[in-house]
Amino acid sequence: MKQGTAAAAFVLSATVFTTFGALAQKVDSIQPWEVGDKKSFQWTLGSKVLRVDEEAVEVTDQEVRISSRTPERAYETTVDRASFALSASVCLANGQQCTFSPPLNALSLPLTKGRKWSTSFTVTGETFSADVTQDRVVEKMERIKVPGGEFDAYRIAFTGRIKGKDAKGAAFSGKEEGTDWFAVTASGKPFVVKTVYRNSFGEKTSSELLSMAFK
């Protein structure tokens, strides 16, 4: 079955991220992406490895809209301008275009070690819909190395409970777990350096930063 909820990642370059000393304190506020901000990441889904290229194409008073493309298809990503909460994205666990209502709160401010929060939402994909509740915690700050460079990041672990139906009406339920490594640019823009995810349906996925071009 293809019911995973892991969503798209957001990234940055080693030339503008915060220093480890600054990151070790806390982040009280974030800044939105700007039109033209770009990044690429490597997405592993099962035995398939794809490059995903993303670019912010529109910024309104409420949200940032991002075009996401692989060699196989295009996706739409939408995040809240103020909170970075995710309302639309590719579901990395299954490759479907998904929406999240209310938005998935991958971050909670102030961002600091030990911070805990829960986020509940309905994720709707191309062949399923599911109610999900995730419990998230900032475990620690650490330096992480990916193909795009080395970054000082907040390690955010999460577990989730999933209950939904597929396109034929068949019910399913299960669990998920994963880790996001978030960092923030010197100007306050948040991004994901790396994500790993798996669920009780046997789906596994990961993503890692390849490159970026932020204003």
pLDDT, tens digit, for every residue of 81-92? Answer: 999 999 999 999
What are the tens digits of pLDDT across the range 108-139? 999 999 999 999 999 999 999 999 999 999 99
The pLDDT value recorded for residue 17 is 41
Mean pLDDT to the nearest integer, 11-37: 63
Per-residue pLDDT at 5: 58
The per-residue b/e assignment along 23-50, b for 16 or more CB within 10 angstroms, e otherwise, is: beeebeebebbeeebbbbbbbebeeeee
Check residue 6 and give its pLDDT: 59
Taking residues 8-31, report their average pLDDT.
51
Q: Tell me, what's the pLDDT at 24?
A: 44
Share of the chain above pLDDT 70, in %: 88
For range 207-214, the mean pLDDT: 92
pLDDT at 215: 85
Long-range contact list for 200-204, CB < 8 A, 24+ apart? 200/174, 200/175, 200/176, 201/1, 201/2, 201/3, 201/4, 201/172, 201/174, 203/2, 203/3, 203/4, 203/93, 203/94, 204/46, 204/93
Per residue in 172-201, pLDDT tens?
A: 999 999 999 998 888 889 999 999 999 999
pLDDT in tens, 33-82: 999 999 899 999 989 999 999 999 999 999 999 999 999 999 999 999 99
